[in-house]
Copies of this chain bind each other. A is one copy, B any other.
Amino acid sequence: MEEPQLAVKKAILRIVDVLSTLPNVVHEQLKAGKRYAFEDYGTSSGVLIIKSGSFSVYRRRSDLFLGTISAPNVTSFSEALYNNSFHYIKADEACEAILVYPDDFIQAAEDFDLWEDICLVLSTNLISIFVEQNLNVADTAYEVVKNYLLELADMDDAERYKYNVANYIVERSALSRSAVMAILSDLRKGEFIKMQRAKLISVGKLPKGY
């Protein structure tokens, strides 16, 4: 079996290639900060391709930030199949988005034999949710903070320096900003972590309890 991470990248590229060139799609240039609304295009869902730039995904019901998606990518398969929408996106920077209507998407998946590729993307979505749920399973606020610090520590420096540590944790967890700030401050004082201008520089061996 090919490594799933690599296989899913290839799958996404194939899907983007096919869907981008369908006749009935709607190309749209989004300005930074612009929220995308399916309703503006007379549909309640659809597959969304991002050709350039990046956008953030939020839960419609609670405005919870869920993650960032960079081009080239494709999203909302499950919602297109169910013709329902649980999320919305907002452009982080200028980006080009392409809307594929649900019925056109299903027809194209059939015609161009995309179902296996779509399975891989859907599985990746599910696995990401499972991982995220695990990060949020903890008995104490400290353990939640610790899980996210370890996730940040795993990133390349360039990737990690993009994030304000406190924001990163507050946006992804159910913790209050004050709780997160207090824990980070104690960890810095104890020299368990090193931060500079709100970025995480390094993580040492974190205490088990707090």
Contact = CB atoms under 8 A, between A and B. Distances in A.
Contacts of A27: none
A181 interface: no
Contacts of A118: 115, 119
Nearest to A123: B78
A71 interface: no
Copies in the complex: 2
A59 interface: yes
Interface residues of A, number: 37
Contacts of A115: 115-116, 118-119
A44 to B, nearest CB: 13
Interface in A59-103: 59, 61-62, 64, 77-79, 81-84, 86-87, 102-103
A8 to B, nearest CB: 9
Interface string A127-148: 1011101100100000000000
Contacts of A119: 77, 81, 109, 115, 118-119, 122
B77 A127 contact: no
Given A115-B116, A116-B109, A123 B1 contact: no
A137 B82 contact: no
Contacts of A206: none
Interface of A: 1, 4, 59, 61-62, 64, 77-79, 81-84, 86-87, 102-103, 106, 109-110, 115-116, 118-120, 122-127, 129-131, 133-134, 137
13 contacts: A59-B133, A77-B119, A78-B130, A79-B127, A81-B119, A81-B120, A82-B123, A82-B124, A86-B133, A87-B130, A115-B118, A122-B123, A129-B129
